[in-house]
Amino acid sequence: MLVPNKQGRKSRAETTLLPALSLSLLIFFFFSVLFCSVLPVHAGSDEEKLSLILIDGEEIYVRSGNYYTFLQGYQIYIKGADTEGSRVWIELRRNDVFLEDTIVREGDTFVYSNNSSEILNLKVDTIYAGADGVLVRFSPVYQYLDPKLPMPQKPDTSPANNSDNNSSTPTEFENQAEGFDMPIFLLSIGAVLLGTGFFAGIYKKKFNKK
């Protein structure tokens, strides 16, 4: 009876082990890629929710006869006030196009919605009456993203108050460079290891035949 050569059995074992090891590594990197791909989804979702709030509880001041420009081109005007300075006439526009107007007093909240989506929410906190008109303090002020309009460019600071110069110059910002793509990196390593194991197995078989 022929006894199998120990060296031959060892070579066959090494030949079988190498592809199995490569397959295991490939499976490991495959699940690593899936894991790394899922994590940014949650972070992105949280960031998207935060980006829906363009102005979050800030305060603004607007004088009678002037206006304040929000993001996405919305403008709130103080058109006038009554003789006692207790009520003011405010008007909302977007890019100088009239949207709506109303009469408010201290404690009132002005809300503007577009297609059932709330866009602006301003509370009239204080009305300061003077010889030259009124100064209205809105606080808190909330602005939400209008999904039907282009995404606004994020300013470095809050939108400029236009109550003095009646003009607005939005501050632009540069998009930050995208981060390192870890899933692609891991997938590349897995592909290299698989290719290395495959060609190493072929080389082993040819070497054993010799």
Q: Are residues 56 and 139 in the same domain?
A: yes
Start-end of H helices in 85-181: none
Q: Are residues 104 and 140 in the same domain?
A: yes
* Domain finish residue from 144, 160, 191: 144
- Integer Cα distance of 93 and 96 in angstroms: 5
- Integer Cα distance of 172 and 80 in angstroms: 32
Q: Is the pTM of this model over 0.85?
A: no
Q: 153 in a domain, yes or no? A: no
Quick: pLDDT tens for 34-80.
Answer: 655 555 444 444 544 445 999 999 999 999 999 999 999 999 999 99
Q: 35 in a domain, yes or no? A: yes
- Integer Cα distance of 58 and 138 in angstroms: 8
The full length of the chain comes to: 210
- Identify which has the larger pLDDT, 140 or 148: 140
The count of structural domains within the chain is 2
* Domain finish residue from 96, 124, 144: 144
Q: Are residues 62 and 95 in the same domain?
A: yes
Mean of per-residue pLDDT scores for the chain: 74
Residue 157: band (very low, low, confident or very high) from pLDDT cuts 50, 70, 90: very low
The pLDDT of 108-137, averaged and rounded, is 95
Q: Are residues 68 and 119 in the same domain?
A: yes
Give the CATH number, domain containing residue 97: 2.60.98.40
**Tokens coding 23:** 């397959």
Q: Are residues 127 and 190 in the same domain?
A: no
The pLDDT of 98-102, averaged and rounded, is 97
Q: Say whether 209 sits in a helix, a strand or coil.
A: helix
- Is residue 158 scored above 80 in pLDDT? no
Cβ–Cβ < 8 Å for 141, 58 = yes
- Is residue 136 scored above 60 in pLDDT? yes
Q: Are residues 66 and 107 in the same domain?
A: yes
Distance set, CA 191 to CA 28, 31, 113, 180, 200 (Å): 12, 13, 52, 19, 14
pLDDT recorded at residue 208: 62
The pLDDT of 146-159, averaged and rounded, is 71
- Is residue 159 scored above 50 in pLDDT? no
Q: Which helix (H) or strand (E) holds 134?
A: strand 133-144
- Integer Cα distance of 56 and 147 in angstroms: 17
Segments forming the whole domain that contains residue 89: 52-144
